[in-house]
Structure 1
Amino acid sequence: MAWQPGPGFEQYSAQPGMHPGMQGSSPQVPTGPNNPLNDVFYGAAPGLLGAYLGNSKDYVQSNVSRYFASHDIQYYFQVTDQYVRNKLKVVLCPFLHKGHWTRIAEQVAGGLKYKPPRHDINAPDLYLPIMALVTYILLSGFLLGMAGKFKPEAMSGLVTKATIGWIIETIMLKASLFALGSGDAPTLDVVAYAGYAFIGVSLSLVVRLLSPYAFHITWAYTSLCMASFLVKTMKRLLFAEVRRYDRDSTRHHYLLLLMAVAQFPLFYWLVHVR
């Protein structure tokens, strides 16, 4: 006699752990624009990004306070978010800066003291140059990776190249000041002004990732902006501080022009990562 399934066979032949009527079904995760998980993710993403950018500033400032007790060093890291935004505009669009270029001084016991960056857009800082330097190294490494040329030792080479570029810019600015009779300008001020070059260099590398055709235009533009920024800064700020600038000196004009032209080959060398 052929075996026939009993009346309760269907009930107990379902998959283990499943109730009757659920055979072959599986739990569905809600998808689509009304998914609460999506709402949580997209709502948290901007906050996480803002927290990351803010924490980078706090991290740099805290480590400077820890390892450099000198007030002179900490002065260059007293920045705010508003200062960072405005300084980027001045460095990348110096032609649109309608304000003055001289620093703001205040009377303190013992003489005059310049206000820190958070209170003066024309004050030099080291936060932006250092962050731009790190960005330049990371972008250069990413470009090497896209070209299939990245190696572990490539990062040390990029750090060396960036450091040499910063030193060259600093020496060039300092030598120009000595030649113009203004060699007593603070060294850290000159180092900070030289480091702003990496802002334009990093922007050029970003454009290179997006559009190789627009890369050369961006390189020329950022080089011109840095040249204009340095000329205006050294002419109206550093020279005004030491009170030794002769506006009618032909030698001064030629040195400033030479310093401005030198930005183009320096930027070209930095942005061409191979």
Structure 2
Amino acid sequence: MEQNLGNWPGMRRPTSDPQSNAFGNVFNGAGSGLIRGGLGAYGERFLGSSSEFMQSNITQHLSDPQYYFQVNGRYVRNKLKVILFPFLHRGHWTRITEPVAGKLSYKPPIHDINAPDLYIPFMAFGTYVVLSGFYSGVFGRFTPEALSLQFTKGLFGWLFEVLILEGILYSMGSGEAPLLDIVAYGGYAFAALSLAIMARLFWSFSYYFMLPWICICTGVFLLKTMKRVLLGGARGYEKHSSRQHYLLLLMVAFQFPLLFWLGTVTA
């Protein structure tokens, strides 16, 4: 039969030994402090190493996406002139640096015509896809499948251009250029392709005059840009100057089959 001792007057509840509680508190406090200190130190080391890895690898290759969209109307007009008529560019091809927090950093596109941006490549790629669909519709052969195929072909061509540029930089031992820089350089060709397709809408034979000129201009623009990247970042440029020249000429020659393939619209 159970009895509630607390209801009996004069009866005390059993209490634990204060000495054992003291030892328990000491061990619990020491254990929790040890665990907190160990986990805190491990967490700091882990987070610190992760932060260093992010800064030294991912940030190095992806850079800051917002940097590539700091443009205005004046920059877009001047940049299109450099892309479409690189022979008329009388200024230098090097990027402008400025000190930021004790380190040298490149100025954004709005303040430097030679800085890469992603606004023009994305807008040019969208214009290229729309004009391709419009060109097919003029001949009564527009289908969603054809537009999707042109979109996929454009993405594949852009990716292939980026791989070519990355391969040239890697072969010269210059892998320090951020990935978004190379993506921007590879996407500038769609501005010239959009101009060629637009000219073809008014006169079909103009395509055969415009596209070779566009290939030459795109090749010269990439040649000037890549030489500036190589000269600025490749340590082995002097040792492999002849090989570098052959690779750059191969890159220029590669623009002809790539741009002719991308500029072909089924109609």
State TM-score, norm by structure 1.
0.72
What is the aligned counterpart of 1:227 among 213, 219, 239?
Answer: 219
* Letter matched to residue 191 of structure 2: I
**How many percent of aligned residue pairs carry the same amino acid?**
54
Report the 3-state secondary structure (helix = DSSP H, G, I; strand = E; otherwise coil) of the residue aligned with 2:69.
Answer: coil
CA distance in 2, matches of 1:138, 1:149: 14
Tell me if structure 2 keeps the 8 A contact 1:78–1:116: yes
Q: Which has the higher contact order (CA 8 A, sep 6+)?
A: 2
Range with greater deviation from structure 2 (132-141 or 175-184): 175-184
* 1:206-217 equivalent positions in 2, closer than 5 A: 206-217=198-209
Report the 3-state secondary structure (helix = DSSP H, G, I; strand = E; otherwise coil) of the residue aligned with 1:169.
Answer: helix
In the alignment, structure 1 residue 111 sits paired with structure 2 residue 103: yes
What is the aligned counterpart of 1:138 among 111, 118, 130?
Answer: 130
Other-structure match for 1:123: 115
Tell me if structure 1 keeps the 8 A contact 2:132–2:197: yes
User: Which stretches in structure 2 are left out of the alignment for 5+ residues?
Assistant: 1-61
TM-aligned CA deviation for residue 153 of structure 1: 2.2
CA distance in 2, matches of 1:125, 1:72: 11
Moved over 6 A (4+): none
Computed over aligned residues only, the root mean square deviation of the Cα atoms, in angstroms, reads: 1.5
CA distance in 1, matches of 2:219, 2:238: 20
Tell me if structure 2 keeps the 8 A contact 1:246–1:252: no
User: Structure 1 residues 251, 91: closer, same or farther in 2, change over 3 A?
Assistant: same
What is the aligned counterpart of 2:92 among 78, 94, 100?
Answer: 100
State TM-score, norm by structure 2.
0.74
CA distance in 2, matches of 1:192, 1:147: 33
CA distance in 2, matches of 1:222, 1:183: 28
* 1:157-176 equivalent positions in 2, closer than 5 A: 157-176=149-168
Deviation string for 1:43-91 (max 9, x for gaps)? xxxxxxxxxxxxxxxxxxxxxxxxxxx9700000000100000000000
CA distance in 2, matches of 1:78, 1:122: 13
Larger gyration radius, structure 1 or structure 2: 2
Other-structure match for 1:264: 256
CA distance in 2, matches of 1:124, 1:247: 28
What is the aligned counterpart of 1:239 among 218, 230, 237?
Answer: 230
Report the 3-state secondary structure (helix = DSSP H, G, I; strand = E; otherwise coil) of the residue aligned with 2:80.
Answer: helix
Tell me if structure 2 keeps the 8 A contact 1:165–1:270: yes
* Letter matched to residue 139 of structure 2: A
CA distance in 1, matches of 2:243, 2:120: 32
CA distance in 1, matches of 2:93, 2:241: 20
Report the 3-state secondary structure (helix = DSSP H, G, I; strand = E; otherwise coil) of the residue aligned with 1:122.
Answer: coil
User: Which stretches in structure 1 are left out of the alignment for 5+ residues?
Assistant: 1-69
In the alignment, structure 1 residue 186 sits paired with structure 2 residue 170: no
Q: How many residues align?
A: 204
Report the 3-state secondary structure (helix = DSSP H, G, I; strand = E; otherwise coil) of the residue aligned with 1:262.
Answer: helix
Of Structure 1 and Structure 2, which has the larger fraction of its residues in helix? 2
* Letter matched to residue 261 of structure 1: A
CA distance in 2, matches of 1:273, 1:243: 39
Tell me if structure 2 keeps the 8 A contact 1:105–1:113: yes
CA distance in 1, matches of 2:144, 2:243: 47
CA distance in 2, matches of 1:188, 1:126: 8
